[in-house]
A = this chain, B = another copy of it.
Amino acid sequence: MKVCLLQSNPILGNLTQNFNWLKTQIKKQDADLFIAPEMALLGYPADDLISDNFFIEKQQVLLEKFKSVLKKNQMLIIGGVALNKNERSNSAFLISKNNLIRQDKINLPNYGVFDEKRYFEKGKKIEVFSFNNKKILVLICEDFWDKKIEKFYKDKKIDLCVVINASPFEIDKFSKRQARAIELTKKIKSPLIYLNMIGGQDDLVFDGESFILNKENELILKLNPFRTEVKTIDINKINLTIAHKNNIEEELILNACILGTQDYLRKNKINSVYIGLSGGVDSALVAYIASKAIPKDKINCIMMRSKFTSKISCEDARKLAKNLGIRYKNKNIMPIINTINESLALDFKNKHPDVTEENIQARSRGLILMALANKDKAVVLSTSNKSECAVGYSTLYGDMVGAYAPLKDISKTKIYKIVNYINQKNKIIPQRIISRPPTAELRENQKDQDTLPDYAILDRIIELFIDEGLNCQEIIKYGFKPQLVKKIVRLILGSEFKRRQSPPGPKISRKAFGRERRFPITNNYLG
C-alpha cells in the first residue's frame, strides 16, 4: 500500500486555498492512501470561527468535493469539523470516490492552549475501517494518547494505524510522541503513521515532524520539522529503519521562530518589517530570524540612539546588519526626548527622575518605529523575550510595541544558547553583542543585573514558577533565597497587565504566556 503523507501548512480560514493545495498534491502523487492533518481545510485553532455555521458548511462542501479528486481505490483521510444541526465534532473524514465516512474525536483537550470543549461534542467510540482489504484505525491527536479508549480497538485486527494531528510545537514534544507511538504499536502490532501539520498561527507554531513506525516499532520515516512536505512511500516495501537522530534543541527553537515569523507575515499579507536594534542580543536574534524568514530587502533595522547609547552598541548593531545583509539606519532620538522633557518640565517640577524618563525614551523609540512601519505598510517585530515578559522588565508601548514577538517564549539564558549555536557555524552575530553584559541603556551605565538577579538564577526561578507550576515555598527548597523568590514571583504576578497588551509570539516552552497561561490581572494572591 502506497501512502502519501501531506504535511501541509494550512492558512486559517482560507478554505479554497487549502483545498486547492491538497487537490494539486493528490493529483500529482501516485498513492493509494492520502493522509492530511487534523483540521486541514480550516486551519487550527480556528477559535470562535468554529461557531460560524456558514463557514463550516463551506468546508463540508469542499470535503465532498474531494470525492471527485480521488481515483477509484484511493482514499483520503483528513481532519475537519462535522456539523449536525448545531452540534459539532472534531472529526477525521475517510473520503473515497463514492463514500465519505467519519471518525469523531473522543478526547477534546480543554487545557493548556486548547479549548475544544468550547466547540465540540465528544465522539462515542473508535471504529476500525476497511480500505482495500486492509483494516485501518484512525485516531485524532488527543485520542492517540488516551489509554482508556484502547478498549475500542486493542483486540481487533489492525493493518495500519493513522494518527492525524494539529499538535503545536514545544520543546521535547517529538520524543514524547515517538515514545507513545512505540507503546501503541507494541499493543496493536501494526505500522503507525503520525501526521502533523506545520505552520505558524498567532501564538502557536506546528512542527510537523510526521513519522512512520513499522510494526516492529522502528522509525522508518521522519519528515522534516517546520517544512511543508509531501512524501509517498510503500509501507509494505520500505522497511529500512532510519537512524534515530533527534534535532538539536537550539535549531528546533530557531526554526520554530523563523516559521512562526514567516507565517505571521505571509498569512496576514505583510511584506516588510521594522526592527529596533539596540546592539543587544535580543534584537540581534530577531534580526537574524527575520533574515531567514523573509527577503532581506524587506527588513529595516533602526538603531535609535540616545545619550545613554554607547558607541559599541552602534558599532555592533551596524556590523550585525552588515553581516546579515539587511538595511540599517541610525537615528538620534535626543531631539525628540529633549522636546518631550521640555514639554513636561513644568509638570515634573520638583519631582525626581525615575522610571518615567526611561519609559519616555523607550516610548519615543516605539513611536518612531511605528511611524516608519506605518508609512511603509510594514509591521514592527518586537524584541521582547520571556524573561522580561515574565518580570515586566520592559516598557508597555515602548520596547513592547510590535505585531509579533518571535522571542516571546524564550528565556534570556536560552537566547544566549541560540546565538552561540548560530555563531558555531558562521560568526554572523558580532561576538561582543554576546559577551558584553546585558543593558537596556536607558540611563548612565545601566546594567540589567542592577535590578535583576543573574539571568541564570532569574530564568530558573521563572521556569520553576511558570513552567513547573511550583509555589514560593517549593521554589525556596531548591536553594534560592526566600526574599529573592518572593520578589520575582511578585514581579511576575504584577506584570500581567503588561502581558495582556503584548503582541503574540510562538509557544516554545512547556508553559507559554498568553494563550496557555491564563491569569487574572486583578489578583491579590501572592503565590
Which chain B residues lie closer than 8 Å to A155 at the CB level?
Answer: none
A11 CB–B CB distance under 8 Å: yes
A397 CB–B CB distance under 8 Å: yes
Choose among B52, B333, B354, B523 the residue that contacts A343 (Cβ–Cβ < 8 A). Answer: B333
Contact B359 A343 (CB under 8 A): no
Shortest A10–chain B CB gap in Å is 10
Contact B497 A403 (CB under 8 A): yes
Which chain B residues lie closer than 8 Å to A519 at the CB level?
Answer: 47-49
What CA separation (Å) do A453 and B340 show in the bound complex? 37
What CA separation (Å) do A9 and B227 show in the bound complex? 52
Which chain B residues lie closer than 8 Å to A374 at the CB level?
Answer: 354-356, 359
Shortest A133–chain B CB gap in Å is 40
A335 CB–B CB distance under 8 Å: yes
Which chain B residues lie closer than 8 Å to A355 at the CB level?
Answer: 374
Which chain B residues lie closer than 8 Å to A363 at the CB level?
Answer: 366-367, 370-371
Shortest A51–chain B CB gap in Å is 7
List residues of A (489-509) whose CB comes within 8 Å of B's CBs: 497, 500-504
- If A48-B518, A519-B49 touch, does A368 touch B339 (CB 8 Å cutoff)? no
What CA separation (Å) do A45 and B522 show in the bound complex? 10
Write out, one digit per residue, whether chain A residues 336-359 have a CB within 8 A of any chain B CB (1) or not (0). Answer: 101110111001100100111001
What CA separation (Å) do A473 and B371 show in the bound complex? 37
Which chain B residues lie closer than 8 Å to A17 at the CB level?
Answer: 524
Contact A520 B12 (CB under 8 A): yes
Tell me which of A180-188, A189-197, A251-259, A263-271 binds B.
A263-271
Contact A359 B371 (CB under 8 A): yes
What CA separation (Å) do A397 and B403 show in the bound complex? 12
A13 CB–B CB distance under 8 Å: yes
- If A49-B525, A497-B403 touch, does A375 touch B347 (CB 8 Å cutoff)? yes
What CA separation (Å) do A12 and B363 show in the bound complex? 32
What CA separation (Å) do A279 and B313 show in the bound complex? 44
Nearest CB in chain B to that of A14: its residue: B524
Nearest CB in chain B to that of A108: its residue: B117
Which chain B residues lie closer than 8 Å to A481 at the CB level?
Answer: none
Which chain B residues lie closer than 8 Å to A482 at the CB level?
Answer: none
Nearest CB in chain B to that of A401: its residue: B397
What CA separation (Å) do A218 and B523 show in the bound complex? 39
Contact B347 A372 (CB under 8 A): yes
Contact B360 A344 (CB under 8 A): no
A427 CB–B CB distance under 8 Å: no
Contact B55 A13 (CB under 8 A): no
Shortest A405–chain B CB gap in Å is 11
| Interface pairs A-B: 3 shortest CB-CB | A13-B525, A14-B524, A339-B339
Name 5 interchain pairs, CB-CB below 8 A, sorted by A. A48-B519, A49-B525, A110-B117, A115-B115, A336-B340
